[in-house]
A and B are shown apart, each in its own frame.
Chain A
Amino acid sequence: MLSFLYARQSGLDDPVRLRRAESTRRVLSLELNHNRDVDRIHGNGINTLDIEVIDGRYMLSGGSDGVIVIYDLENNSKKPQYTCKAICTVGRSSRHVHKFSVETVQWYPHDTGMFVSSSFDKTMKVWDTETLKPAEEFQFDGNVYCHHMSPVARKHSLVAVGTKDPKVQLCDLKSGSRIHILQGHRGEILSVRWSPRYDHILATASTDSRVHIWDVRRASGSLFTLDQHNGDKSKTSSEAVNTAHNGRVNGLCFTADGLHLLTTGTDDRMRLWNSATGENTLVNYGKVVNESRKGLKFTVSRGCSPEFVFVPCGSSVAVYGLHSGELITMLRGHYNNVDCCEFHPDYQELYSGGKDCNILAWVPVLRQPDIEDEETNSKRVKQSETFF
Chain B
Amino acid sequence: MASMHIVLEDTHAVWCSADIRSSLQYLVTLFSRKLFNDSLPPVVLKHQLYSLHNDKTSVDKQVVRSDCNKCSTWDSVQSHFIIITLMHSEALVFSFPRQNELRETGELLMFQLGFDSEAFALVFAEDYRAKVLQGEAGRGTLGTVEKFLTKLIPSCSDLSFNKEKMLKEFLFTDSEITQLVKSGVLTVRDAGSWWLSIPNSGKFIKYFIKGRKAVLGMVKKSKYGEILQTELEGRRTTSQVKFQMKYHIHDIIGAELVECIQTTSGTLLRYVDGNVN
Which residues of A come within 8 Å of B, CB atoms? 230-238, 240, 246, 267, 274, 277, 279, 281-287, 289, 291, 324-326
Contacts and interface: CB of A to CB of B under 8 A. Distances in A.
Contact of A325 (B55, B66, B72, B274): B55
A238 B274 contact: no
B277 interface: no
A178 B105 CA distance: 55
Interface in B102-151: 112, 117-118
Contacts of B271: none
B231 interface: no
A282 B56 CA distance: 10
B117 A238 contact: no
Contact of A234 (B56, B57, B158): B158
13 contacts: A230-B70, A231-B70, A232-B67, A233-B160, A234-B159, A235-B159, A235-B160, A236-B112, A237-B190, A246-B118, A282-B60, A291-B274, A325-B57
B72 A240 contact: no
Given A282-B57, A282-B66, A324-B55, A277 B112 contact: no
Given A234-B160, A237-B190, A286-B256, A324 B57 contact: yes
A25 to B, nearest CB: 22
A325 B55 CA distance: 8
Nearest to B110: A235
Nearest to A272: B57
Contacts of A233: 160, 162
Contacts of B189: 237-238
Contacts of A235: 112, 159-160
B159 A279 contact: no
B78 interface: no
B193 interface: yes
Interface in B147-184: 158-162
Contact of A283 (B57, B64, B112, B161): B57
A326 B158 contact: no
B160 A282 contact: no
A279 B61 CA distance: 15
A142 to B, nearest CB: 28
Contact of B55 (A274, A277, A326): A326
B161 A284 contact: no
Contacts of A279: 70, 72
Contacts of B59: 284
The dominant DSSP class at the A interface is loop
A231 B69 CA distance: 13
B114 to A, nearest CB: 9
Nearest to B257: A287
Contacts of B193: 238
Interface of B: 50, 54-57, 59-61, 64, 66-67, 70, 72-73, 112, 117-118, 158-162, 189-190, 193, 256, 274
A267 B117 CA distance: 10
A289 B57 contact: no
Contacts of B57: 282-284, 324-325
Contacts of A238: 189-190, 193
A233 B189 CA distance: 12
B203 to A, nearest CB: 22
Nearest to B114: A237
A125 to B, nearest CB: 36
B117 to A, nearest CB: 6
A246 B50 CA distance: 20
Contacts of A324: 55, 57
A246 B117 contact: yes
Contacts of A285: 56
Nearest to A314: B274
Contacts of B73: 281
B67 A230 contact: yes
Contacts of B56: 284-286, 325
The 4 closest A-B pairs by CB, nearest first: A284-B56, A287-B256, A234-B158, A234-B160
A281 B60 CA distance: 11
Given A235-B112, A235-B159, A326-B55, A284 B70 contact: no
B54 A237 contact: no
Given A230-B67, A237-B189, 7 more contacts: A234-B159, A279-B70, A279-B72, A282-B60, A282-B61, A283-B57, A326-B54
Contact of A237 (B55, B64, B117, B118): B117
B110 to A, nearest CB: 9
B161 A234 contact: yes
A16 to B, nearest CB: 18
Nearest to B193: A238
A232 B67 CA distance: 10
Nearest to B50: A286
A246 B118 CA distance: 9
Nearest to B157: A234
Given A274-B72, A281-B73, A291-B274, A236 B117 contact: yes
Contacts of A284: 56-57, 59-60
A36 to B, nearest CB: 29
Contacts of B54: 326
Contacts of A281: 73
A237 B193 CA distance: 10
A309 to B, nearest CB: 14
A175 B59 CA distance: 53
A279 to B, nearest CB: 6
A128 to B, nearest CB: 43
A237 B112 CA distance: 9
Contacts of A267: 118
Nearest to A281: B73
Contacts of B60: 282, 284
Given A234-B161, A282-B60, A240 B190 contact: no
